[in-house]
Each structure stands twice: as C-alpha cells, then as structure tokens.
A = this chain, B = another copy of it.
Amino acid sequence: MGMPLELNTLVVTKGRENRIAENLFELVKEDYRLYPIDIPLDIRKTLESDSSGICVIRRVEWENKQTKITYELVSLNSTN
C-alpha cells in the first residue's frame, strides 16, 4: 500500500541530460524520486565525481515509475 520513494539531495546526471534551452536541461531517472525544487542543488556526473556545478530544479514530473526533472544550470565549476 505504501509508495516507494527515494529522497535525493543532489542531481547525478550520468551524462544522460538533454539540453532543451540555453541553460535548461531535462533528465529522466528511474523510480519515483523526491527532489527539492526551486532551491540550489549540487550537480555531479557520477555519485563519486566532484561537483560539476550548481543547478535549480524548475519542474518535477512523476509518471510510469519514472521521474523527469527540468533544471537550470546556475553555475559551472571551471575545473570540469
């Protein structure tokens, strides 16, 4: 009866993001995930990699056991 959910505190892209506008990206993740929206979050390529920058999620969509987020890339770490 319960609904499985994963609480996420940062965005891990695994290089699967799609650019949809200048600084706007879409990313689809498996399962239903709870992401904070409208607040700055760390973004990384993999869980183990250093931060690539800071993003702000502007849209979260749950459907068919997938989570689609749309995020704005706010700053990019120069070392990446």
Contact = CB atoms under 8 A, between A and B. Distances in A.
A60 interface: yes
Contacts of A27: none
Interface stretch (A1-9, A14-22, A72-80): A1-9
Copies per complex? 4
A55 interface: no
Nearest to A6: B2
A41 B6 contact: no
A7 B12 contact: no
A37 B41 contact: no
Contacts of A65: 38
Interface of A: 1-10, 12, 32-34, 36-39, 41, 47, 58-63, 65
